[in-house]
Amino acid sequence: MLSIFIRSLLIGLFLAFAGIYTATHRNNYLNKNTEYQYVMTMPGYMKWLAIGFIIFWGVIEVLAMNGGAYMDVLIFFAAMLLMCVVLLLYSLNWSIKVRGEEIYYTSFLGRSKKYSFKDITKVKYLGNEMLVFSGWKLMFTIDNTVDSILFKESLRKRKLLKK
C-alpha cells in the first residue's frame, strides 16, 4: 500500500516540478531574447496554493490506504486535485506581454497568440474580469487579481478604455 502512495506522490511531484521548470525556463528564454515594456502574469500565491492542495491530497491518499478515509472523501479530494492541476497550469502559463503596439497572449494551456492594439475594438467589464474584444470575437480576459494598471493606461492612451 505504501508503494502505491510513494509512486503517486513521486508522479505528482515530478509533474509539478516539471511544470514549474518548463514555465520558468520558457520565461527566462523569452526575457533574454525580447525586451517587453511590461508583463502580466497570475499572482505567485496561486501557484503555491495549488501545490499545497496537491500535497494535501497526498496526505488524504495515505489516510485512505490506512482505512482512515471514506470513498466520498476520496472522490471530493480527487475533484480538488483536478481543480488544483488546472489552477497550477493557469498560474504557470497564463501571461500577457506587451512590446510597443504588439500584445503577446499565452493561454493557460500554453497556446500563444500575437495581437496588436489596433485589433482591439471594445473593452468591457463583467464582474471581476476585463474582457478585450476584436469585433465580436473575445481576444482574452484579464482577471482583477492580475496587476493590469500599465495595460489599462495603454488602453486609455489609445482611447479604448473610458474609465
pLDDT digits (tens, 9 = 90+) for 10-41: 676 776 676 666 666 555 444 555 677 888 88
The reply to whether 85 and 104 lie within a common domain is: no
Q: What is the mean pLDDT of residues 50-77?
A: 73
Sign for the pseudo-dihedral over CA of 22, 26, 27, 32? positive
Q: What is the pLDDT of residue 29?
A: 45
Confirm whether pTM is higher than 0.85. Answer: no
The mean pLDDT value for 49-75 works out to 73
Q: Which of 37, 63, 93 is the last residue of a domain?
A: 93
Domain assignment of residue 162, yes or no: no
Residue 163 lies in a domain: no
- 140 vs 66 pLDDT, higher one: 140
Q: Which three cell numbers stand for residue 133?
A: 474584444
Same domain, 83 and 115: no
pLDDT single digits (tens) 101-158:
999 999 888 888 999 999 999 999 888 889 999 989 999 999 888 888 888 888 888 8
Domain count, the chain: 2
Q: Are residue 19 and residue 84 in the same domain, yes or no? A: yes
More confident of the two residues 81 and 156: 156
- The pLDDT score that the predictor gives to residue 58 is 75
Residue 138's contacts (CB-CB under 8 Å, 6 or more residues apart) are 131, 132
Q: Do 141 and 109 fall into the same domain?
A: yes
Which of 61, 76, 93 terminates a domain? The answer is 93
Q: Does one domain contain both 20 and 85?
A: yes
Q: Are residues 78 and 17 in the same domain?
A: yes
Are 100 and 48 in a shared domain? no
Whether residues 117 and 137 share a domain: the answer is yes
Q: What is the domain extent for residue 112? A: 96-157
Does any domain span residue 39? Answer: yes
